Every structure is written in C-alpha cells, then in structure tokens.
Structure 1
Amino acid sequence: MTTSNKRGFMMQISTKLLLSLLMIFLLVSPVADARSPVEIANEQGKQIGEQYEPHGTIVIAQKNGQILYADDPSTQWPPASMSKLMTIYLVYEAMDQGKFTKQTTVKVNEKFYDISRLPMLSNNHFRLGATYTVDELLQTALTASSNSATYMLSSLVYKDDTKFIDLMNKTAKALHMTETHFYNPVGAPNNLMLQYKAKGYPQDEDNISSAKDYAILTHQLLKKHPDILHYTRKPVVTVKKGTEYEETFHTYNHSLEGAKLGYKGVDGLKTGSSDTAGFNTTLTGKKKELRIILVMMGVMDWYDPPAEFNRNIMANAIMDDVYARYSFKKVLTKGKHKVGDREVYVYNDLYDLVDHKTKGTLKYRNGEVHYDYQRQFIDAGYQPPTVKYEDYQRYAMRKFINDNYGWIIGGITLSILSGILLMIYALKPHLFRDLWNQENQK
C-alpha cells in the first residue's frame, strides 16, 4: 500500500470513528435535540427567520441543576448587562457577611454622576448629591439596567473597581464558570467606560461568558438569594415615589408575566444587549413545582428591532417544550417495598424530575435509592435526589423496640430483680423465713 493510500485509509477510519462517536452521543444524550430555538419556535407557528438563531441556549431545573435543553451552551459570548447578575450576587453575599444592609445609603458623587451620563450606556437620571438606599439601587440596577446604580452597589463591596472585578473573576472560577471573564461590573463594552475603566482592566474588551456559565451563576443566585425575585418580578416599578427624584421604569424582560410577551409563571431575571452581544436573556419561571432557568445569548442584530422580541418569542416556545416534557413529581412512596427477592423500608417520599420521553428505574444501593435515567447536569457537583432505605426486617425490629421501649425496659428491670431475689433465696433461704416470721409476729 502506497503512502497516499495509507493516508486515505486512515482518514476513512478516522471519519467513520468520529461519525460513530457522534451517533452514540446523539443516542445517549438526554438533552440532544436536533431542533434549534428558531426551529422550535417555528414549529409553533411563530415564523422566525434563521438570522435570529441564538449563539447559545440552555435550560436547567433550579432544584437540581439538571439540563433540560441545550443548544451550543458553551459558546463564549458577551453577556452584556447580564453581567450585573454577578455584581448583584456579590452584593447579596456582602450583605450576608454583615458589611451593609438594604437600608444603607450611597451618595451620587461625581464618578457615579459622570457614569450616568456616558453615551451608549443604559442608565437612569441621577442628580449629583442625591442619596439612594441599597434597596432602591437594586431595583434600579435590575429593572432599568442602570450602569451607574450598579457601580454604586459595587462600591459598597470594594471602593476600588479593580478589586471588585478581581472578586468577580475569582467567584466565577469558584463556581466553575470556566468560560467566563469580566472586565467591568456592568457588562458594557469596556471601551465605552472611557476614563472609568478599572486600572487593572484597561483593555477594550467585552465581558465574556456562556449560556452554561450563566445558568450556573443563576442557579446559585436563586438558591442562596431568592429575594432577588422581589425585584425582578415587577414589569413596572417606581423609585423614590413622591420625591423630586422619582423615576418609573419598565422591564426589558418581555417574557415576564404581565409584560408584552408575558409567560405564565415567569418572575425574573435579567436581560442584556449591546451592539457586540445582540440580545441576551436570563429567565426564570415556575409551573407547579418545577422552576426552570433559561439562558439565551446572541440573538442578533442589535440594530434590528424585531430581534429584541424574537429573543423572547423563542424563549417562550422553548419553555413550552420543556414544561410539556418534564414534570416534578413523586416517584416513590415511603414505606415497605419489594426489591427483587427482599423487602426494604423507604424512609421518605422521593420526588424527582420525570422525563416523559425517557423511562426511568429506581436504583437501590448502599442504603440510598434514586430515580435513574440517562441525563446530564450543569456541573459535576449536582446529582439526582436520594432517600434512605434499609432491610425491612431490621427496620421492623427497630420500630418494635422503639414503640415498646418502656415496656421492654420495665420487663428487663423486673426480670433482673426477680433473678436477684431468686439467687438470694437459693443461697440464703433462711433470710426469707426470718422475714416471714417477723411479719407474722407483728
């Protein structure tokens, strides 16, 4: 065989191997879905053009981090103003550490006032010298996506912007957000920050992340600080009502219940858009007992008005599909069960996500049982829920002892005393006769 023939043969083998691996992945992956967001929306009659295909999308379950849908979830993309979710996560963490409270006030100094007037940035109308509480700044940062309000919040954690951005990147690493790097706390392209670029991050770069990484961040944010939904569930808010600083803001989250494309159960979370990022969104919503997180990044183009709404049309269509396929329900009732040729006792009801397209089985191992089917999680640290079980005979014996503990202790005590008396009688019977005679002589 010539050298060229050998190369051709090896290329054929490599190609066949790659195709085989791809087919295996598509067969076993529980989230492998050949349908893209545009296709899912169009199946529901939405008529979205291919040019609006997102660059990365993922849906996970808040309860356990299980991936329910994914389409290029690891593609790196600018999160734009969704960056504020990391800043707000760190603000909540600092409040938990007692550094400040929601009633702590921050004054609009020259820096914050200047940032509020920078062109091309989302902001609100700050006045120099005005004061705002953390509560008011959280609402303004989340609903109005105010960059200046976000800087006011980050200044409470670290006055030095470089140190705060260092903390953002350190936290991203700790959360296993492996595709993420921040250059500023707000998500604007760094060149637009002009003189307010952090000294340690002077590059004209965009913050970068992925749909997967933002699902990880949002999962942690909702798990540790669900209070954020108090701010994100409102389609219209007014800050400093009745004062000269009063402002009213309308949500950019068009899928929010009560908004233009409102979806029942959606109560958060944050959008992000720029000329480099297009339109992004991080959504969360709950139907029955199933809360999901959806992250969609890179619906282009920022200068194309339909793109902003097509983002939410596609997100709503994906949520329809996810809620139709998955539900959170009881999969095992506490009590006595037959497992093979033995009986076991399960201590608690087991609830889990059920995929109506995939048949699951109950796996009993090492005293714990879980509902098993082929699925993936957002990170290696997440696992299916489990409940404890044990051999039924052992459980029955333990229960009998616990239920009759008093009688058993009493019986044992009585038996011991009776045994002692019998032993004394056997060794010294005259003691009992003497006692009997003394009693009769009285």
Structure 2
Amino acid sequence: MKKMTKFGLVFIITFMVGTFLPVSNLNNTASAAEAAPKIDAAAAFIIEPTTGKVLLNQNGDKKLGIASMTKMISEYIIFESIEKGDITWDQKVPISDYAHKISQNNSLSNVPLRQDETYTFKELYQAMAIYSANGATIAIAEAIAGDEPKFVDMMREKVESWGISDYELYNSTGLSNTDLYGNLYPGSKEDNENAMTARDVAIVAQHLLASYPEILETTSISEMKFKEGTSDEIKMENWNWMLPGLNSERENVDGLKTGTTDFAGATFTGTAEENGMRIITVVMNVKDGEVDLRRRFVETDKMMDWAFANWEKVQVYKKNDVLNDVKPLAVEKGKTDSVKLAVESDVSLFVPTDTDLENMEVSYTPQKNVLNDAGKVTAPIKKSEEVGTAQVSVKDDELGYVDGDQGEEVAVVAADAVEKANVFVLSGRWIKDFFSNLF
C-alpha cells in the first residue's frame, strides 16, 4: 500500500454493496466454502496471478530448497534477453567444458551435449523447460552472461526487483553445489543450496506468466524429441506428470516447473486455468516425494480441486462508480466546496464462494501533492482527474495478497469537474468565514 502524504487522510469505511453489485452476487445461499486442505508438504501456497490474491498459505513464508524450480528465473532472463534483442532463438550456442561435463552426468536430468556440435537457444531452452536439462541450462547462462556466476548475478538482481529479499541463489540450475564439479559461485561453499519461500516462488511464477505467457506453449508439451532425426536424438518426457498423456494427468494443467534434490525434496510449481480463472500452486518438500514422484502431483491435484471449487471472481465496482460512502475531498477556491470520488476502472475481488459481501473495506490514499497545506484539493479540477488510489478488500481477510498488500488497488478519480470560483464568490466566502469566526 502506498504511503500517505503529509496531509493525506485514509478513510476506511464499511458499506452496503447492494447499490453497485449485481443481485446475483448478493446471493448468500451459495454452498459454503470448504476449509483449506492439509497438504503433505513442508510448504504449500496458492495464488490467483492477475491480482496476486493468496488463496492458501501453509508455511509459505519459510525458506526452503527450490531445486530446479530455480529454472523459472533462468527462463525469465532468457525471454527478457530475446525481447531486448541481446540473443535470438536461432542463434548458435557453443558448449563449454563445464556445460559438457554436467550434460554427461546420467544421474542428473540432462540431454547429452557434444562440443563438436552447436545448438540453438531454442533447442537448449526446450530441453531446459521440458526435460529440466541442466547442461543445457548452464550453456544458456554462459552464452547470455559470459559465465554462470554473472548469470546468477542477473538472477539475483531480477528477483530483488520483484521485492524478494529472503533468498539464496548460487547457480542457474537448482542443482546442489556438490554436483557442479567445483564450479561454484564466488564465495559460496559446496553445502550452499538455492532456497526461497513458497510465497517468493509464487511471485517468480507470477512475473513469468505476466511478462511472458508464451512460455506455456513450451511448458505444456508432454513429450518432445531433442535433435530429432540425428544420432543424438533423445526422447524428452516432461517431468510435470500432470500434463496430457502422462501418469498424473489433470485437465487444463499447462505448467510450470518441477524440482528434486536431496536438500529440497520433491517440489513443484503448477498452473492451470478453469472457467476463466487461473491459479498458481507451489508445493515444497512433499512427504515421501522422492520415493514416489507422483506424490507432488497428488498434493497439487488436491490443492487445485479445492481452489477451483471454493473461490470465485466477483465484480464489486464498475468503471466510474462513485465511492458514495467515502468522504468527498474538500475543495479550495472551487464553485463547490467538495468533490466526490470514483473508481477509474472495474474492480473485482477473488473471494471464497460463501463470502458475505454485505460489507467490505475501502482505504483511500490521496495522490502525492494533490492536497494543499490545508488538506484540500485546489480548483479547478477536471472530471476523471486522478486524485489517488484505493484498496478494496473483504473485511478480516487474513491471507491478503502475495506482495503483502491487503486489498485490490485501483486508481481514484474526481467524479465531477469543479470549476474555479470567481473573485466575488471567493470574497463572499471570506466575509462569511470572517464573521463566523468572529462570533
């Protein structure tokens, strides 16, 4: 939530919504929402990505190993580099000794790479996104940044720009440092591991989908052949077994990334869209997940069933609706002495299906420099002129939003124009105020 200016007033009000909600949304006879399920994992988290609304938080703020979910950050940087024109999909990528050695380790997820061959960014990216190929990921990191440590610096800078601070990133793959043959990030040790909270992993996935939704075209591929038609051809089956045709298939799942190490256990960031609503799920260190790799998908399936059955999107404001119960702004030197406030755009909330929408909370924060020293806005004011922001939320929402906010933010505008009063009106007001104060 934005900080208030010196003379900013925050008006928190509770009001009847019947004046602006469709009758269908006021039906309180809807089936009661089920309690959130208990997930057999060290942490579990669900968000709705367009708003960042948190739907479930089970130990989601404890830092844990992320394993190959790390590659979502690497994927973001790849797409960003493509967008900037720094690289192209068909650009050839040489294979270093380091990337080659990692790619030949059959105990890790890999496509074997040769140093007498060159590969395109697209080939290596597909191997990374579908098959979690570690050697391919390192080759990409080196080609973009010069070496992997510099690429990790890019990763760190990126997550910090998203407000993530409680993290550890030491490599581009999510592998344990002990698997890197001594190619460690400067200052790190072999027992250092990539780690984040489930909340922060959800934030990474949210930014990836918001900026580059086309990634789903690749993450939704169940199976592909690497270097098809050559002697290096290898079948890549997606580690996300919830995709079509795989052994934990669930309809409408199209991403995103699994991860498994001894330190992190079995992890998975999933996403699916049903009835126009998309969610992002995160499970970390699923119980018995390394013994039975399906366990992470069983728990994710449980989370998706619950979220889609028990949450819904409800429109609470339409564009230009007046905030009738928010105190109008006082106007100085205007033909009228106040102006009502309105929302600049539609406002919808994601809420449990049994939520009582007879009351909500709206907090209004004036825009910086809108109010003068007297705490008023000075005329003239144009209709629809932006004068601040509001956060709209359901009262007593304990889960809030993934970025820490407690409501859906919307720009607030003047509902009407206020012309500047002429000198005679202003003089009359001054005289009236003078005698009122006098007596």
Per the normalisation by structure 1, the TM-score is 0.71
Q: Please show how residues 56-71 of structure 1 align to structure 2 within 5 Å.
A: 56-71=43-58
1:156-180 per-position Cα deviation (integer Å, ceiling 9, x unaligned): 2212222222232233333222331
Candidates 296, 299, 305, aligned match of 1:320: 305
Q: C-alpha displacement at 1:279, in angstroms?
A: 0.6
Q: Distance in 1 between matches of 2:343 and 2:405?
A: 25
Report the equivalent of 1:358.
Answer: 355
Q: C-alpha displacement at 1:96, in angstroms?
A: 2.5
Q: C-alpha displacement at 1:98, in angstroms?
A: 2.0
1:89 aligns with 2:89: no
Q: C-alpha displacement at 1:381, in angstroms?
A: 6.0
What SS does the aligned partner of 2:196 have? coil
Q: Please show how residues 145-184 of structure 1 align to structure 2 within 5 Å.
A: 145-184=132-171
Q: Please show how residues 43-442 of structure 1 align to structure 2 within 5 Å.
A: 53-118=40-105, 120-301=107-288, 303-304=290-291, 306=292, 308-334=293-319, 339=324, 348-360=345-357, 361=359, 363=362, 365=364, 371-373=392-394, 374-375=396-397, 376-380=400-404, 383-386=407-410, 388=412, 390-391=414-415, 394=416
1:332-369 per-position Cα deviation (integer Å, ceiling 9, x unaligned): 34577794699987665433323323223464857766
1:65–1:382 Cα contact (<8 Å) kept: no
What SS does the aligned partner of 2:294 have? helix
Q: Distance in 2 between matches of 1:257 and 1:185?
A: 28
The two structures, once aligned, show a CA RMSD in angstroms of 3.0
Q: Distance in 1 between matches of 2:342 and 2:167?
A: 46
Identity of matched residues, %: 25
Q: Residues 188 and 337 (structure 1 numbering): CA distance in 2 closer, same or farther, change over 3 Å?
A: closer
What SS does the aligned partner of 1:351 have? strand
Instruction: Tell me the amino acid that sits aligned with residue 294 of structure 2.
Output: F
Report the equivalent of 1:36.
Answer: 38
Q: Distance in 1 between matches of 2:123 and 2:405?
A: 35
Q: Distance in 1 between matches of 2:258 and 2:109?
A: 12
Q: Residues 338 and 177 (structure 1 numbering): CA distance in 2 closer, same or farther, change over 3 Å?
A: closer
Q: C-alpha displacement at 1:206, in angstroms?
A: 1.7
Instruction: Tell me the amino acid that sits aligned with residue 246 of structure 2.
Output: A
1:285-315 per-position Cα deviation (integer Å, ceiling 9, x unaligned): 11122211111000144652x2x11211111
Q: How many residues of Structure 1 are paired with residues of Structure 2 in the alignment?
A: 348
Instruction: Tell me the amino acid that sits aligned with residue 70 of structure 1.
Output: N
Which structure: larger Rg? 1
Q: Residues 348 and 378 (structure 1 numbering): CA distance in 2 closer, same or farther, change over 3 Å?
A: closer
What SS does the aligned partner of 2:298 have? helix
1:349–1:387 Cα contact (<8 Å) kept: no
Q: Distance in 1 between matches of 2:263 and 2:363?
A: 50
Instruction: Tell me the amino acid that sits aligned with residue 404 of structure 2.
Output: A
Question: Which structure features the higher share of helix residues?
Answer: 1
Higher RCO (CA 8 Å, separation ≥ 6 residues): 2
1:116-168 per-position Cα deviation (integer Å, ceiling 9, x unaligned): 12353211122232221111111100111110000011112212222222232
Q: Residues 205 and 33 (structure 1 numbering): CA distance in 2 closer, same or farther, change over 3 Å?
A: farther
1:15-48 per-position Cα deviation (integer Å, ceiling 9, x unaligned): xxxxxxxxxxxxxxxx9967421xxxxxxxxxxx
Instruction: Tell me whether 360-369 or 111-120 shows the greater mean CA deviation.
Output: 360-369
Report the equivalent of 2:381.
Answer: none
Instruction: Tell me the amino acid that sits aligned with residue 355 of structure 2.
Output: T
What SS does the aligned partner of 2:65 have? coil
Instruction: Tell me the amino acid that sits aligned with residue 263 of structure 2.
Output: T
Q: Mark the runs of 5 or more structure 2 residues left unpaired by the alignment.
A: 1-32, 329-339, 367-386, 420-439
Q: Distance in 2 between matches of 1:289 and 1:193?
A: 42
What SS does the aligned partner of 2:170 have? coil
